[in-house]
Structure 1
């Protein structure tokens, strides 16, 4: 019998059941008589019919069990009936009966086994159901405890997350405020940058303009220095010339005074001899002292007159040149005044300041030289 319940007849099974069939057939006298004694010809048909019916009944019972395929057994039975001996036919019938009994017994055992298996299955199912219920109960308890723990964790996490969210909201507000301040500061810096660019552009323009003015002022300063050097050389030359003229004039006056004194001495000696020693001597002393002071005043007046008369011609020649220089100095003075207003700017550099200070000093020196020259000219005019 296989797992599906079908029974297959093997040679081992046939040999074992043939012995059983012989024992069973031996217990029955009719079967023994049928096997050992030949039957008469008159009863052959009826016996064959009975055997056929018995065989069909056995095969029907086998088919009713459903354990063995009856088609092969029927072919086997027909072949044995055609070709086999009566002994073989009897053994086959006995075998089939034993097979039916064995199949019934096996079916009963199978039913008992199925009932046992079913009972065990029911018991196992009940146990599994109880175990499932217990497990389900345990799982539900565990689930409830886990749910309570998870709910507690969730509430704790929720509260912490809410506090963290509130803290993050505050941080976001602070960051947003800082961002607004940064944007405002950035806009202010951009405005300052634009204003600084404009100032830088203006400063560059002012720088170029100042550089051009500085170059002009340097040229002007150079011209002023040349003029100052020229005036200084002229003044030195004039001083030397006046000093040499005065020296020669003083020398001539001193020589003339000495000649006059010698003449006075001669006259004194002559008058002393004529009028007397004492009176003449006193008179000579008085007259000598008077003549001495008059000679000094006369020599001084001659000195000044000679100086001014000699300087008159020179001043007349220099007045024209001085007037021309005064015109040029006036123009330079106006340029120096413009440079003084330029130096008051707050954008000047140290080098530019130094150059402009030098120009201012030159302008002041020119002003003083011009004033001195004007005083000399006016004094000369008053004397002349």
Structure 2
């Protein structure tokens, strides 16, 4: 009975909200073969606290009590004496037959409900399988897209790295060429430096030789200056000597009154020549 109560509650609460209201009882009219008025009476009977709703536990509890009342009625009917009121017995038997029919219908509906639930379960599984397949297909597509995108990015990055590597190789070759050029220039500079050093050595040697020659020339010049000075001194002495001699001669000629004018002029000419020499 509890399983039947569960299924009836699920039929009244297909949304799964956890409770049923008076309007939800109308969904059980086909399963219970009752009119809307009778279903409202049943709801009021089960909603003893008059909250306006029934939870699953309340529904199962009141449903079990109602079924228990029906079972007690059946037991009381079976224990009635033969001399009881025939009308009451007939009513009870009619009620029991109707109840039996209703129970049979409920069992059939329960079986149909189970078949429907199984069918829905199978449909749900199929839908889940289809959804899973669609998700798996979508996942594969997304994975393939991601893979292609990763490959594209990898190719782009690889191309960028190759270009960067080629650029670095070009710069490296340019640097090596520049280094070789600098090395050549350095060797040439070193050779020029060696040549300059050799030239400087030659110039220093030439300078020393010239200085030596200059010192020798200075020594010669000093000797010549000494000779010239000595010569000048000697010439001055000779001039002074000749002057004195000429003066003495002129003095003697002047004192010689008896000599003629021509002789005096010759003497003066001689003195001039002597002085010039």
Is the shorter-chain TM-score for this pair beyond 0.5, marking a shared fold?
no
TM (normalized to structure 1)? 0.34
Q: Work out which structure has the larger RCO, using CA pairs closer than 8 Å and 6 or more positions apart in sequence.
A: 1
Between Structure 1 and Structure 2, the one with more helix by share is 1
TM (normalized to structure 2)? 0.44
Larger Rg: 1
